[in-house]
Amino acid sequence: MSSTEFNNLLLGNADFLRPYAVTLTKDSESAKDLYQETLFRALSNRDKYLAGTNIRAWLYTIMRNIFINNYRRGNRQYRLLDSAVGDYLLSHQPSAVGNFAESELRVKDVQMAVYNLPIIFKQPFLLYFEGYKYYEIAAILNEPLGTVKSRIHFARKMLKTRITRH
């Protein structure tokens, strides 16, 4: 199937995705993002589409998988800092520690340890911490997968030694 044929087939069946995106996200803006991401993934993976099969089912599956992955990433995504607001802790959940001054000092120690990492370790570690998968980080940083994995591993080791020293 040529690219033009695939594009025409895709555009002819893409409008059926909009209501499904709204059903999944329950938000019109998120639905638009999900719709666009689905079309992008379909275009970038057109070689995986088997001509003659149900394109709607293929597109629905792509959309559902994107939604599930984003949901899982959102659940794991905890931002350590927001540098735009002056490095304050976001998504802070109350801890079991009764002494809040002590826990605040500990958080600052962790923040300082992360931001004092060398940039080659800090970048992949923060992306991993935000919920990206190894292969996504490798694509973002344009680095081999093994390099990304080892840098995150070494960043963890450095953080363990720096934080336990205090």
State the CATH number of the domain containing residue 42.
1.10.1740.10
**64 and 5, same domain (yes or no):** yes
Tens place of pLDDT per residue across the chain (166 aa): 788 888 888 888 788 888 888 888 888 888 889 889 988 988 888 888 888 888 888 888 888 898 888 877 775 554 444 444 544 445 455 555 555 555 555 677 777 888 888 888 988 988 888 888 899 899 988 999 999 999 999 988 888 888 775 5
Backbone angles phi, psi at 118, to 5 degrees: -60, 145
- What's the CA angle centered on 42, arms 38 and 47, to 5 degrees? 165
Final residue of a structural domain among 56, 89, 122: 89
Instruction: Say if residue 114 is in the same domain as residue 144.
Output: yes
Q: Which residues span the domain enclosing 114?
A: 99-165
The CA distance from 163 to 51, in Å, is 55
> Domain count of the chain?
2
Per the domain annotation, does 159 fall within a domain? yes
